[in-house]
Amino acid sequence: MSKKVVLAYSGGLDTTVIIPWLKENYDCEVIAVCVDVGQGKEMEGLEERALSTGASKLYIENVTDEFVDEYVVPTMQAGAVYEGKYLLGTSMARPVIAKRLVEIALQEEAMAICHGATGKGNDQVRFELTVKALAPQLEIIAPWRIWDLKSREDEIQYCEDRGIEVPMKKDDSYSRDRNLWHLSHEGLELEDPANEPDYKKILQMGVTPEEAPDTPTYVELEFEKGFPVKLDGQAMKASAIIEKLNAVGGANGVGIIDIVENRVVGMKSRGVYETPGGTILYAAHQELEYLCLDKQTMAVKNQLAVKFAELVYSGEWFTPLREALTAFMDSTQATVTGKVRLKLYKGNVIPAGATSPYSLYDEDIASFTTGELYDHKDAEGFINLFGLPLKVRAMKMQQQGKQ
């Protein structure tokens, strides 16, 4: 193999520093790869920036639809939410990014893959587990674990010492990760959980609930076997649906969370996440499942959703367990077909009706009006049997109390 290193490149501060650092310390050719999962304007000017800092070439690989169809939607169908809040935006993107890095590294006959994740973060785990699962022969270079730079301020100084333009201002050095699904913010005042986030300074995908319109906005989503296929009656691919939901959700202050989460490496971290479209999509899908899934299936699915979220968060996408869980989740989606209407108002996502040809809701049974399918008298025998263990226990305790 030639002495080439494939770098996961974003054009941000970390990877701007890493290109000259790799050339100085490894005497290698650096091939920058930016995998587009819906970063939007962040893609502008990347080639000039990468080449000007020493990369021999830049690949820009658009995998947005693959990201949405094969990672985002299956995770949404699973109902996976990490620690009750986080909709896994960064977590889901890392395996598809790393997969493309591996493919290019093999194509270029590179010796290693390099990433800019820190030694304290989750992304190092997610990138490296994917590389190990798909191409164990490749070396992995993680500069944050071995270089002398200790902070983002050190990185900025490193660039200035070499006449490299710094891709951010010193007073706005939030660590951010953007893709079609979400935008995360970490660092600065957010590192102290006692501080209220300065949302007017932080938010980029939408507004706060206070700034949202005083009138509600309605949206209608249609699913086929758990897959989103229409928005407001218009057929479109899932990535387009998410893009439009991001706009309408952001305008209504939807999908903003502030979380102190447990990282894979054992520490807690604090971040603010914007996931307007994803929040709406999760809510709509869940409303449809309420109609279409039986009690036992929903109960087990909810339990497995927690494990699914943990696997995705920890970078264990390419594992037998994740694949097995996805197979189970797929089977539950066979009847999750129908329409869901939602009302968006001041940061809230409020159900406004759902229909499905596979709905298990039967008005004749559920209605307070006596119908042919349900005899109220049957409830007495059911309660007697259902409560028998409680009755026997109480009787035994009474007998023991008399002795």
- Active-site residues: which are they? 14, 94, 123, 175
Residue 59 annotated as lining a ligand binding site:
no
Residue 86 annotated as lining a ligand binding site:
yes
In angstroms, the CA 140 to CA 115 distance is 8
Residue 331 annotated as lining a ligand binding site:
no
- The CB-based long-range contact list for 200-204 (8 Å cut-off, 24+ gap) reads 202/174, 202/272, 203/256, 203/274, 204/178, 204/274
SS3 217: strand
| Residues 6 or more apart in contact with residue 289 via CB below 8 angstroms | 79, 298, 301, 332, 336
Question: Which of 24, 89, 77 minimizes the C-alpha distance to 53?
Answer: 24
- Residue 250 · residue 205 · CB < 8 Å: yes
Residue 84 annotated as lining a ligand binding site:
no
CA triple 111-95-277, angle to 5 deg: 145
Residue 12 annotated as lining a ligand binding site:
yes
Residue 126 annotated as lining a ligand binding site:
yes
Name 36's bridge partners: 62
Name 31's bridge partners: 6, 57
Main-chain phi, psi angles of 320, to 5 degrees: -60, -35
Task: Extract the tokens encoding 175.
Answer: 């660590």
Residue 8 annotated as lining a ligand binding site:
yes
In angstroms, the CA 243 to CA 240 distance is 5
SS3 267: coil
Residue 261 annotated as lining a ligand binding site:
yes
Residue 36 annotated as lining a ligand binding site:
no
Residue 11 annotated as lining a ligand binding site:
yes
SS3 385: helix
Residue 9 annotated as lining a ligand binding site:
yes
DSSP state letters, 219-260: EEEEEETTEEEEETTEE--HHHHHHHHHHHHHHTT-SEEEEE
DSSP state letters, 310-346: HHHHTT--SSHHHHHHHHHHHHHGGG--EEEEEEEET
In angstroms, the CA 226 to CA 23 distance is 47
Residue 122 annotated as lining a ligand binding site:
yes
Residue 239 annotated as lining a ligand binding site:
no
Residue 56 annotated as lining a ligand binding site:
no
- Residue 8 · residue 97 · CB < 8 Å: yes
Residue 232 annotated as lining a ligand binding site:
no
Scored b (16 or more CB within 10 A) or e, 91-125 reads bbbbbbbbbbbbebbeebebbbbbbbbbeebbbbb
In angstroms, the CA 8 to CA 258 distance is 27
In angstroms, the CA 157 to CA 75 distance is 40
Could you list the residues known to form a binding site for L-aspartate, using ranges: 118, 122-123
Binding residues: 8-16, 86, 91, 116, 118, 122-123, 126, 175, 184, 261, 273
The binding site for L-citrulline consists of: 86, 91, 122, 126, 175, 184, 261, 273
- Annotated binding site for ATP: which residue ranges? 8-16, 116
